[in-house]
């Protein structure tokens, strides 16, 4: 997978580039708006990570130029302007996702991977599984070690999202956005209670526990 990182802050860029390389991505990096325009035209990428504030050419301008020329490469916008209005502006300009600074690398990775999957039109999955946990998306049933587990609709969506991102860390705001479709930073433990109920159902009577709490970041589903 080939990703372009357009970011002028050296420290942030090296953090992102190193992290993505560590995950097996082929990473190109440019720090300047004009170079970015050139690079986007010259190469084909699976995902582009685009900072909004750039020297020479503004990030949104690059995005508009790309979309105007028919380039539909998925773009994740990075910005220190983490406001609702800016988010809306970024998405309207043709961005596919938006991540406010400061961010956890795990969240950036999850979003980049989600975008690359979107492009790679994988065939519609009908089943997800991790270790002895199985989810059938057609019958909407979940079993562990062959035993049926009764989940509410919301718990099912929560587990589906965790399964699709198995092995990765997902933050509480990512869960809120993916499962409830509301975008904000929940500062209390409301999401934790939902996760702990899910955990009760899929982990309590089984071993090993699959739902891991990652301190300071969120949750991860791991075997």
Partner 1 sequence: MIWRAPLRSLTLRLTLVYMALFCASVGIMLAVTYVGGVWRPLRQVEAQVTSESDALVAIYRAQGRDPLIRALEHRSATAHSRMRYHVLIAPGGAVVASNLVDWPKVTGREWLRYEFGTYATGTEEEHEAVVRDLALPGGYRLLVGLDTEDLDEREDLIFEALSWGAGMSLALGLLGGLVMTFAVSQRLDRINRAARAVIAGDLSGRVALHGSGDDFDQLSATLNEMLARIEGLVASISRVSDNIAHELRTPLTRLRAELEELADAGDDHEEVKARTGAALEEAARLQSMFEALLRIARLQSGPREKGARVDLSALLEDAVELHRPAAEDRGQGFITRIAPDLVIDGDRDLVFQMVSNLLDNAMKFAPEGGVVCLDGQPTPDGVLVTVVDNGPGVPEAERSRVLERFYRSAGSRTEGFGLGLSLVAAAAERHHAELRLEDAAPGLRVVIRFRT
Shortest distance (Å) from residue 91 CB to partner 1:
12
Distance (Å, rounded) from C-alpha 211 to C-alpha 219?
7
Q: Is 169 exposed, middle or buried (0-12, 13-18, 19+ CB in 10 A)?
A: buried
Q: 36 phi and psi, to 5 degrees? A: -60, -45
Core vs surface per residue 39-53: b (16+ CB within 10 A) or e: bbeeeebbbbbbbbb
Which residues of this protein are in contact with partner 1, per CB under 8 A? 82-85, 88, 100, 102, 104, 154, 180, 182-190, 192-194, 196-197, 214-217
Q: Which residue, 125 or 200, is less far from partner 1 as judged by CB? A: 200
Distance (Å, rounded) from C-alpha 117 to C-alpha 132?
24
Shortest distance (Å) from residue 122 CB to partner 1:
29
Shortest distance (Å) from residue 56 CB to partner 1:
26
Helix (H, G, I), strand (E, B) or coil at 54: coil
Shortest distance (Å) from residue 141 CB to partner 1:
22
Distance (Å, rounded) from C-alpha 179 to C-alpha 73?
25
Q: Which residue, 124 or 181, is less far from partner 1 as judged by CB? A: 181
Q: Which residue, 131 or 217, is less far from partner 1 as judged by CB? A: 217
Q: Which residue, 103 or 206, is less far from partner 1 as judged by CB? A: 103
Tokens representing residue 202 in the block? 């899929």
Shortest distance (Å) from residue 42 CB to partner 1:
36
Q: Which residue, 2 or 89, is less far from partner 1 as judged by CB? A: 89
């Amino acid at each position: 997978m080939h990703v372009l990182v357009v970011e002028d802050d050296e420290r942030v860029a090296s953090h992102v580039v190193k992290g993505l390389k560590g995950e097996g991505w082929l990473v190109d990096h440019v720090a300047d708006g004009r170079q970015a325009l050139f690079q986007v035209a010259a190469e084909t990428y699976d995902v582009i990570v685009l900072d909004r504030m750039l020297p020479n050419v503004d990030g949104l301008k690059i995005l508009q130029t790309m979309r105007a020329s028919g380039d539909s490469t998925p773009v994740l916008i990075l910005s220190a302007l983490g406001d609702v209005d800016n988010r809306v502006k970024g998405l309207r300009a043709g961005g596919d996702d938006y991540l406010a600074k400061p961010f956890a690398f795990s969240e950036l990775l999850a979003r980049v991977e989600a975008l690359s999957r979107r492009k790679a039109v994988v065939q519609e999955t009908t089943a997800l599984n991790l270790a002895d946990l199985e989810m059938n998306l057609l019958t909407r049933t979940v079993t562990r070690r062959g035993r049926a587990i009764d989940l509410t609709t919301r718990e099912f969506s929560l587990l589906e999202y965790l399964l699709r991102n198995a092995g990765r860390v997902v933050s509480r705001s990512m869960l809120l956005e993916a499962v409830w479709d509301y975008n904000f930073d929940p500062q209390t433990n409301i999401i934790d209670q939902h996760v702990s109920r899910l955990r009760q159902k899929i982990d309590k009577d089984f071993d090993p526990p699959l739902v891991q709490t990652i301190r300071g970041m969120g949750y991860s589903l791991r075997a």
